[in-house]
Amino acid sequence: MRFSIIVFPGSNCDHDCEYAIRQVLKNPVEMIWHKNTDLKNPDCVVIPGGFSYGDYLRTGAIARFSPIMESIFNFANKGGLVIGICNGFQILCEAQFLPGVLLKNKNLRFVCRNTYVRVDEVDTPFTNQCKNSSVLSMPIAHGEGNFFIDEEGLKKLEDQHQIIMRYCNSKGQITDESNPNGSLKNIAGICNQARNIFGLMPHPERVCEKELGGIDGQLIWQSISNS
């Protein structure tokens, strides 16, 4: 599985993703500057976390117009896999690759801590190595992770099983206390209808080695690698 990681001005999780893919997953990876239009023939595109364009105007709003985005659009339309993590998720929503929007956290604070998420859909290229309803421990670090979508959109997400993971407690229960940012229905990650584009706020690349506090993130990368 060949990965291409998109680097925007302000991306800061790009090298963490590169490390997880190259050193832990042992898969080839290319770093692609956002001004380029050549994706270098990947099987999966990674839009990493960070603060593209300083989060100016709205998070992800300006990155959406980078030259590389059209190539990603064409790649995804042909069924190529795209994963957006944190700011990557925000960009995917702004670019309308995914429905909904990430609003300011309910408590208005930047929240940087570990969370638990329950994997509710394993029939995706991003979670096929997870057990149904399994609880993963992954950190979040964001100020705008409060997922919002209108009622009609939410119903569509639910009906089409696009809600991949939700914030939960360590036992896998979906509670208000375990919701770190006010996300609607505790949503932490969703996919598109075709199930080849995935956006999530938690950082799987930060929990790929025991020395760094956990290995649950490996499951996401292994799932992609196995699809």
Partner 1 sequence: MSWHAKVYVVLKPSVMDPQGSTVQRALHQMGYSAIENLRIGKFIEVNFDQALQEQEVHKQLNEICDKLLANPNIETYQFQIERV
CA distance 214 to 120: 21
130 is catalytic: no
Q: Is 104 in the site for partner 1 (CB under 8 A)?
A: yes
Count interface residues toward partner 1 (CB under 8 A): 20
- Helix, strand or coil for residue 197? strand
CB of 168 to partner 1, least distance (A): 22
161 is catalytic: no
Name the one range near partner 1 by CB under 8 A: 22-30, 106-114, 134-142, 196-204: 106-114
Residue carrying structure tokens 């595109």 = 45
Beta strand residue intervals within the chain, DSSP E? 3-7, 29-33, 44-47, 81-85, 101-103, 111-119, 135-142, 146-148, 163-168, 187-191, 197-200
Binding string to partner 1 for residues 119 to 158, with x set by CB under 8 A, is what? ---------------------------x-xxx--------
The total of other beta-carbon atoms located within 10 Å of residue 36's CB is 15
Q: Cα-Cα-Cα-Cα dihedral of 14, 20, 26, 31, to 10°?
A: 0
Site for partner 1 in 20-79 (CB under 8 A): 57-58, 61-62, 65
Q: Which is nearer to partner 1, 135 or 188 (CB)?
A: 188
Q: Which is nearer to partner 1, 58 or 161 (CB)?
A: 58
Q: Which is nearer to partner 1, 81 or 98 (CB)?
A: 98
34 is catalytic: no
Distances (CA, A) of 173 to 39, 118, 154, 178: 40, 8, 20, 8
CB of 100 to partner 1, least distance (A): 7
Among 4, 105, 178, 196, binds partner 1 (CB under 8 A): 105
CA distance 84 to 94: 12
Residues within the interface to partner 1 (CB under 8 A)? 57-58, 61-62, 65, 93-94, 100-101, 103-108, 146, 148-150, 182
